[in-house]
Amino acid sequence: MKDADPTADPSARIPDGYELIKDPLGFSLAVPEGFAREYKAPRVYYNSPGMEFRIGIHVQEQSAEGPLGLSRTADAKGPRDYPGYRSGQVIETEHNGRPAALWAFIWNGSADDGGSRQTYDLSWNENGKMYDLWLSAPVGEKSVGKQHFDTAAATFVRPGAAN
């Protein structure tokens, strides 16, 4: 860890092997060194060189259902939307002191994935928008994926917030 001071700016909390990205859409977060940005409207992705690990960010309008309601709906649709959907859970939590939802699940992955995937998906409302930050990783490397996810979530700063 470059600096453990919790009052420091996000760039001071970046673990070794990560870099702070200031995305052209205005937000910032730390991703592992070597990850490449890909924009597929309306989402931004940061992918590892071999696409094993994928971090996604979707900034959208808030929904009346809120992050928890939307995550519960997505979980209920999981078997339809994700082949082999299993181990789905939605946890009510907080992010930046705001109500949030963490949705975690495993699915078979696509033909290009080479096997089952673990997904972590954190959603929260902030400054009039809903933010959705997720990570997809091979099941066999889910602990590494969780570290990447936790780092991205801990360092995420929305557009217009002080960096």
CA atoms within 13 A on the CB side of 104: 15
Ordered DSSP codes for 26-85? S-EEEEETT-EEEEETTEEEEE-TTSSSEEEEEEEE--TTHHHHHHHHHHHHHHHHSTT-
User: CA-CA distance, 121 to 117, in Å (whole number)?
Assistant: 13
User: Which domains does the chain possess?
Assistant: 10-155 (3.40.1000.10)
How does pLDDT run across 53-78, given as a tens digit for each residue? 999 999 999 999 999 999 999 999 99
Mean pLDDT computed over every residue of the chain: 92
Cα distances from 123 to residues 4, 34, 57, 58, in angstroms, run: 26, 25, 10, 9
User: CA-CA distance, 46 to 53, in Å (whole number)?
Assistant: 8
Q: What is the pLDDT averaged over residues 79-86?
A: 98
How does pLDDT run across 115-148, given as a tens digit for each residue? 999 999 999 999 999 999 999 999 999 999 999 9
Residues 6+ apart with CB under 8 A from 100: 67, 68, 92, 93, 94, 122, 123, 124
Supply the pTM of this predicted model.
Answer: 0.90
Least confident range of 9-13, 29-33, 148-152: 9-13
Residue 9's pLDDT is 58
> E strands along 96-141, which residues?
98-107, 117-126, 129-138
Residue 2 pLDDT greater than 90, yes or no: no
**Token code pair at residue 79:** 């078997």
Residues 6+ apart with CB under 8 A from 83: 107, 108
Q: What is the pLDDT averaged over residues 19-34?
A: 97
Residue 6's pLDDT is 42
How does pLDDT run across 34-56, given as a tens digit for each residue? 999 999 999 999 999 999 999 99
- Say which amino acid occupies 146: K
